[in-house]
């Protein structure tokens, strides 16, 4: 069994909880409050700025020119393609990024940057994978169930689309290749950090629905 199948098996309960979050259920129905979605888009733009840095840093640590190229392309995609999606929604809502990182966004981005700079390369790769993989699976799940004339259809189409899916497949393949040559202790840490990132994915969506603020 491929290593990434083991990873996904480990987070199945977390993924189920993500699908059942009010944010994603209401997004599917097209009833999600616009202010909550706008807050999510602002936080996601802040998240992507650091996620793209983590991708570039991780790629630079690879011993493979091909993997370096892949990670730099992932980073560019995060900045250009997904940022364009954010900008289109913010313009539609007549909004701009006027917030700082929420506690969940702050925790997630700092975790990923720490993984990219301080952990072994295979562990960093595993920590970055959930943002690709979970988003695709959530996007496909919602796409298959979305209400007609959904106001968030552009978001749904992006993460259920072929271009994004191809990037996810590349990230999965890289993770499997790296795991084949990794020591058992390293693979164990890859699993742990993959789970950590998946939990932070749950927290990110949950915080958007609550329009999470710092307590003081």
CA-nearest of 31, 33, 32, 28 to 145 is 28
pLDDT tens digit sequence for 172-183: 999 999 999 999
CA-nearest of 39, 23, 46, 72 to 170 is 72
To the nearest whole percent, how much of the chain has pLDDT over 90?
A: 82
pLDDT of residue 77: 85
Dihedral sign, Cα of residue 65, residue 45, residue 146, residue 92: negative
Q: What angle do CA 39, 41, 137 make, to 5 degrees?
A: 120
What is the CATH code for 3-209? 1.20.910.10
Provide the Cα torsion 13, 128, 160, 25; round to 10°: 40
Residue 134 near residue 15 (C-beta atoms within 8 A): yes
pLDDT of residue 96: 67
pLDDT of residue 30: 97
How many CB atoms sit inside 10 A of residue 183's CB? 10
Residue 192 near residue 7 (C-beta atoms within 8 A): no
pLDDT tens digit sequence for 13-62: 999 999 999 999 999 999 999 999 999 988 998 999 899 999 999 999 99
The residue extents of the domains of the chain are 3-209
Please count the CA atoms within 13 angstroms of the CA of 174 that sit on its side-chain side.
31
pLDDT tens digit sequence for 111-154: 999 999 999 999 999 999 999 999 999 999 999 999 999 999 98
Name the DSSP class of 174.
H
pLDDT tens digit sequence for 190-208: 999 999 999 999 999 999 9
Helix (H, G, I), strand (E, B) or coil at 212: coil
pLDDT of residue 95: 64
Q: What angle do CA 201, 78, 140 make, to 5 degrees?
A: 55
pLDDT of residue 86: 65
């Amino acid at each position: 069994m491929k290593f990434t199948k083991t990873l996904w098996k480990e987070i199945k309960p977390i993924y189920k909880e993500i699908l059942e979050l009010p944010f994603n259920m209401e997004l599917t129905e097209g009833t999600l409050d616009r202010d909550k979605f706008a807050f999510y888009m602002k936080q996601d733009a802040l998240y992507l700025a650091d996620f793209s840095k983590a991708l570039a840093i991780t790629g630079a640590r690879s011993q493979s020119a091909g993997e370096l190229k892949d990670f730099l392309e992932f980073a560019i995609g995060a900045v250009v393609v997904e940022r364009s999606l954010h900008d289109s929604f913010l313009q539609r809502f007549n909004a701009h990024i006027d917030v700082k990182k929420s506690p969940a966004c702050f925790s997630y981005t700092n975790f990923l940057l720490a993984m990219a700079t301080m952990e072994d390369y295979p562990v960093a790769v595993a920590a970055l994978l959930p943002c690709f993989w979970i988003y695709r699976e959530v996007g496909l799940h919602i796409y298959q169930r979305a209400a007609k004339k959904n106001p968030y259809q552009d978001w749904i189409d992006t993460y259920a689309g072929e271009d994004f899916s191809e990037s996810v497949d590349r990230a999965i393949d890289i993770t499997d290749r790296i795991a084949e040559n990794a020591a058992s202790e390293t693979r164990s840490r890859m699993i742990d950090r993959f789970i950590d990132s998946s939990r932070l994915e749950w927290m990110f969506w949950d915080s958007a629905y609550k329009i999470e603020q710092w307590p003081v």
